Chain A
Amino acid sequence: MNADDSRRGELAELARLLPVPAERELPPGRQQTLKEHLMSELRTADTAAAGKTPARRHSRKRAAALAGVLALAAVAGALVYLTRPTPRPSPATVRLLDKIAAVASRQPTLGVRDNQFWYIKSWVAYTDCGNAKCVLEKPHERQIWQSASNQCVTGLLRESGQDTRLIFGTNIPSIKCPYKGSLNDPTYRLLRSLPTDPHALLRLIYRGMQGQQPAPEEAFTTIGDLIREAIAPPRVSAALYRAAALIPGVTVVPDATDAIGRHGVAVAMTSQGIRMEWVFSKRTFQYLGEHDINVADGSTNGEAAILQRAFVDRVGQVPG
């Protein structure tokens, strides 16, 4: 199977997982109205521009100079891009992640049976774009139960008291049950099989992307998902944190808060205008939660606080 085929396969699978949204034409009269409006606005824009003729000669020179600067900047940008612009994490960032990893590696190893479920209770609010504009949900409790070894076993999601059964997608030809998942939909069993060498682990994460350039933000996002609503064995958790310390652009935010207002120190990365912060206790260096912030206005784009993690024998069972 070549790359094109596998991409087509991936898009086809996504299309199968999602309902086909409605499609329609602009109502004919409306299409005409929008077009006439647009064309008349373009003329207005041109007239407005033409009205500025006195200043124009001057500004054209300035524009040419500016264009030159922009062209140079573009070339510089391209060069920087090729030579990997993003700085390696600072020594302070590496030290912090190392401390966090050391704490994670000292957690007791759980005796987990394949027929158990992980139980993770959190307090979350995410951005919901379902109704014409994106709004931050009301913060609420979220509890999830997922099989420790096999994604084909039905799990449960309980949000604000509402239950949703997590049933594995049908018609995915590439997958055979039992399925221990992937980096993007892991089970404990999958996480247990990951390399504990941070370089090897990061290579594996990058390999999952198969792009021409490694995408540091994407690796950071993947690790962020793996440390939040999942449970990994101590040595793998430690390796995930040490792998994060190898990602260019990762920084430290000295004071951050999780979704229930617990203060901590954050490991952060900015991507497309959103700063993703993983918040850790300043005292114990344990993971508290995540806070995603729109850099432009400081507003919250998403937040989570982990309240409890455990393995239980049955779906719906809450640890005592």
Chain B
Amino acid sequence: MPRTAPPWETKRELLVKAEDTTNPEHGHKPSERPVAEYVRYGVINLDKPAGPTSHEVAAWTKKIMHLTRIGHGGTLEALSA
């Protein structure tokens, strides 16, 4: 089989249906969120070390940053699991 283009190579175009403006009084651009919200709606691209499980690594991150909730995208098994 020839190579299939993976989904991360898909290019998308934004097609406009109607024009409108957004009120600056409500919400924030993702990059301009105030600190507390920035963390609450934040994601870390973590380089998992060998040894611990993905769940452990996520739990450590939670502990280090004193968070209440954490999740991770796709389990990477621990060394020799």
| A joins B in a complex | no
Please list the residues of chain B having a beta carbon within 8 angstroms of any beta carbon in chain A: none
Please list the residues of chain A having a beta carbon within 8 angstroms of any beta carbon in chain B: none
